[in-house]
Amino acid sequence: MTLLKMEDWYDLARETNWTPGYVSEEALYPSPMSNDYGIPVETWEGFDEPYKVSYRDYVRSQRDKDVAAYSVKAALARSDFFKNASPHWKALLALHFSGVCWAEFHSASAFARMTRFSRCPGMRNMATFGTLDEIRHGQIQIYFAYEFLKHDAVFDWCHKSSKTENWIIISLRHALDDIAHTRDATSTAVMLNMGLEQSFTNLQFVALSADAAKCGDHSFATMLQSIQTDEARHAQIGEPLVRILCENGRKQEAQQMVEISFWRMWKQFSALSGIGMDYYTPLEHRECSLKEFMEEWVIGQFGRTIEALGLDLPWYWEFLKHDIATFHHAQQIGIYVYRATQWWRPIASVSPAERAWLEEKYPGWNDTYGKCWDVIIENIRNGDYDKTVPVPPPLICNMCGLEVSGIAGGEWQAVDHFVDLDERRFHFCSEPCKWIFELEPARYKGHRSIIDRAFDGTIGPDMDDFYTYMGQSPEERGVCGYDYQWIDGYETPPTAAAAE
Ligand code: MN
Ligand code: MN
């Protein structure tokens, strides 16, 4: 018996909408879970996924990807690689795995919601594969990460981090909860697929994979590629959905969902990929700067994609072009100086050669962020390690949960964007973070940043209370990844040189 070709049966097989006989439509697709935006179900049935795959073919290709990734790993005796890896790469692996493993695994829940509650049969089909993808991404990454546990307890955080109240984790969890875990299936699909997967995962998986291959970390590179090919497939859920919304009078809603989710994810990727690419990747293996990747893949490619779908560029697009060259440099300083609040060993990555690269990629870096590092270097040189750690806590944005920062040096123009509501003041790092809050204050105002919690008594008064609250035993508090040796490249202290 010959098998039918997929194109001969696919459309018929996915026609799985029927009229329920035992329950009402509303009971089967309750609107808090299945927001149809007032668009008739026949229109939703027109959802046509650009990438069609049968279950048989899906399983075959996923198995091939797993075999490739796991066999490269087995062949390369990865533990030796880790022992010899630089503190740069170790910091990057720790940051990636502890931020990404559980986020991927939790994504399965968002896709399962799309599978169950979408009104589009084609989307339910794709989301089923998406659910399986995300389970695999959680599992394969935690498996690869855990191999290092015997060398370094920091990898415990690949699993543990999501369950803690560490401030960086609060920031990431708040953003992902907002776009992926607390909205109906339609909105989640637009926000997760357009605002995260189609726009940003390339940064963390294609760009990082290229850097990993250059560093000789081939098993990490192969694994990252196997993940991104899945993301690129299931992210395509977003496009037909946005098209249906735009063509049926719901452009404004679609536009707003993309603007919220894209901004929230940009803040997260700016810290994760920005620091990963421009600081943690060893200099000799860097492919491109964050700014270059963002200009090509996000400002360029993603911008063209959303315009082609009938949306406008987000209102903050010009500000974004500025933010891609600035925000993560300030965050890197914050991450290094508040290093004890991280579970990994952060590195400064501002040796003279690295600074030359930063200055080339971000003209003016030395006169701005470099000036902050000059002070840190001077203090380390004098043995004043305590002075490299600020005493006051930072101001934390009540939306993104990251530090409110500005451009250091002569271009300093930090602005505290704020909203006064319910007898308190909410602080924001930027106009877009504030704008998101003001769209739905009731949704966001109950969240308390780590700093709010320190002042409202949730966290005890001692520094140890603070670390205990964040799940960090004394051994789990970050220290300089190079034990301050990175300043050896500075022959003469900058200020001493000026005084001579
Ligand atoms: Mn994934
Ligand atoms: Mn995904």
pLDDT tens, residue by residue, 16-57? 898 999 999 999 999 999 999 999 999 999 999 888 899 999
| 36-399+479-499 fold | Ribonucleotide Reductase, subunit A (1.10.620)
Ligand nearest to the CA of 104: 1
Banded model confidence at residue 491, pLDDT cuts 50, 70, 90: low
Q: Is residue 499's pLDDT more than 50?
A: no
Spatial separation of the C-alpha atoms in residues 54 and 303, rounded to whole Å: 31
Q: Is residue 362's pLDDT more than 70?
A: yes
Q: How far is the CA of 382 from the centre of ligand 2 (A)?
A: 48
| 77 or 415, higher pLDDT | 415
Per residue in 462-473, pLDDT tens? 999 999 999 999
Contact (CB, 8 A) for 237 and 123 = yes
Q: How far is the CA of 135 from the centre of ligand 2 (A)?
A: 10
Q: How far is the CA of 135 from the centre of ligand 1 (A)?
A: 8
Banded model confidence at residue 321, pLDDT cuts 50, 70, 90: very high
Q: Using a pLDDT cut of 90, give the percent of the chain over it.
A: 79
Q: How far is the CA of 87 from the centre of ligand 1 (A)?
A: 27
Ligand nearest to the CA of 232: 2
Give Cβ neighbours of residue 9 (< 8 Å, ≥ 6 apart): none
Section 68-89 average pLDDT: 81
Q: How far is the CA of 56 from the centre of ligand 1 (A)?
A: 21
Q: How far is the CA of 104 from the centre of ligand 1 (A)?
A: 5
Which amino acid is it at 305? T
Q: How far is the CA of 102 from the centre of ligand 1 (A)?
A: 10
The pLDDT, as a whole number, for residue 500 is 40
Q: How far is the CA of 132 from the centre of ligand 1 (A)?
A: 9
- State the average pLDDT for the chain: 92
The pLDDT, as a whole number, for residue 206 is 87
The pLDDT, as a whole number, for residue 79 is 59
Spatial separation of the C-alpha atoms in residues 254 and 109, rounded to whole Å: 22
Distance of CA 16 to the CA centre of its chain: 34
| 84 or 445, higher pLDDT | 445
Region class of 150: left (phi > 0), else alpha (psi between -120 and 50), else beta: alpha
Ligand nearest to the CA of 129: 2
Q: How far is the CA of 134 from the centre of ligand 1 (A)?
A: 5
Question: Tokens 């994609």 label which residue?
Answer: 305
Q: Is residue 489's pLDDT more than 90?
A: no
Ligand nearest to the CA of 205: 1
Q: How far is the CA of 139 from the centre of ligand 2 (A)?
A: 13
Q: How far is the CA of 137 from the centre of ligand 2 (A)?
A: 8
Section 405-434 average pLDDT: 87
Q: How far is the CA of 145 from the centre of ligand 1 (A)?
A: 16
Spatial separation of the C-alpha atoms in residues 89 and 282, rounded to whole Å: 7
Pick from 324, 225, 219: nearest CA to 278: 324
Q: How far is the CA of 106 from the centre of ligand 1 (A)?
A: 9
The pLDDT, as a whole number, for residue 497 is 44
176-190: b (≥16 Cβ within 10 Å) or e: bebbbeebbbbbbbb
Q: How far is the CA of 397 from the centre of ligand 1 (A)?
A: 27
The pLDDT, as a whole number, for residue 492 is 55
pTM here?
0.95
Spatial separation of the C-alpha atoms in residues 91 and 85, rounded to whole Å: 10
Q: How far is the CA of 456 from the centre of ligand 1 (A)?
A: 36
Banded model confidence at residue 498, pLDDT cuts 50, 70, 90: very low
- The pocket of ion ligand 2, defined by CB under 5 A, consists of 197, 231
Q: How far is the CA of 127 from the centre of ligand 2 (A)?
A: 10
Ligand nearest to the CA of 105: 1
Ligand nearest to the CA of 226: 1
Helix locations, 157-310, DSSP H = 157-160, 167-176, 185-192, 199-202, 208-214, 218-234, 238-247, 251-275, 290-293, 303-308
Q: How far is the CA of 231 from the centre of ligand 2 (A)?
A: 5
Q: Is residue 404's pLDDT more than 60?
A: yes
Which amino acid is it at 221? A
Per residue in 120-152, pLDDT tens? 999 999 999 999 999 999 999 999 999 899 999
Please tell me which of 107-116, 409-418, 487-496 the model is most confident about, judged by mean pLDDT: 107-116
Q: How far is the CA of 469 from the centre of ligand 2 (A)?
A: 31
Strands 424-428 and 417-421: antiparallel
Q: How far is the CA of 161 from the centre of ligand 1 (A)?
A: 18
Spatial separation of the C-alpha atoms in residues 435 and 313, rounded to whole Å: 16
